Amino acid sequence: MEGKGFFIDLTKCTACRGCQIACKQWHKLPAEETYNWGSFQNPKDLSFITYKLVRMEESLENGKVKDWLFFPDQCRHCLQPPCKMVGDMDDDKAILQEWETGTVMFTEKTRNLFAEEIRNACPYDIPRVNEETNVLSKCDMCFDRVINGKLPACVLSCPTGTMHFGELEDMKKMAEERLAEVKKIYPNAVLGDPSSVRVIYLFQDQPSKYYGRAVATVGPRLYNRKEAFAKLFRPTKRS
């Protein structure tokens, strides 16, 4: 299975947030209550009702702002998704991987999973839980659009040529070619985990400068169920 993929060229992103809004609109997700927390990045983080977030960071040099780094964060639709591997232990219908596109989809049955385990399994810190229902959510690649031959809403909305979508092989090729070009100006430029995900970012500088979980440098932090239960039910000392 090759399936579909994204190429996201961060050297072109202007943080207009068109993609963030288009995602909300297509999925009919309500607005977040936001506040001024000292950054143009708003809301502050992904949530059960925000699947896509344009993260913003200042890159400093000698105490002065060198660059604004913009990072439209979303699920990477991993080729071998750790969230699904962990979820399958409790309900193998809760997280699905569609065979034609490779989309990783969370269903209502995620309510049967241990949300903290799924969150900890994701190397990119993507899944979010509805505290009331225990259902998990994240980007679904606009699967309903894609199977009808349309682009994901975020890609369609992007006015700068940052976001691309198509066959995964084509996206990989486009990413490699653009990387070679960009490296002439930005020698630190790099692709994010191109062999293990369907959403390939081109970073103009070290990924960690954009966001601590931009790439899976440490791998999935697999949750140890045995240890967690041991902590919960640790016998208390009698006085």
Contacts with ligand SF4, residue ranges (CB under 6 A) = 13-19, 54, 70, 72, 75-78, 81-83, 104, 122, 124, 126-127, 138, 157-158, 160, 162-163
How far, in Å, CA of 27 to CA of 228, rounded? 35
| Residue among 212, 50, 221 at smallest CA distance from 138 | 50
| Residue among 118, 122, 126, 123 at smallest CA distance from 75 | 126
- Provide the residue count of the chain: 239
Cβ closest to ligand SF4, residue 21 vs residue 228: 21
Cβ closest to ligand SF4, residue 4 vs residue 138: 138
Q: Tokens in use for 186?
A: 């930005």
Cβ closest to ligand SF4, residue 64 vs residue 189: 189
CB of 159 to ligand SF4, least distance (A): 6
CB of 65 to ligand SF4, least distance (A): 19
- Cα-based distances in Å from 84 to 7, 105, 108, 116, 177: 23, 9, 14, 13, 32
CB of 231 to ligand SF4, least distance (A): 24
What is residue 112's three-state secondary structure?
helix
Cβ closest to ligand SF4, residue 172 vs residue 198: 198
CB of 113 to ligand SF4, least distance (A): 12
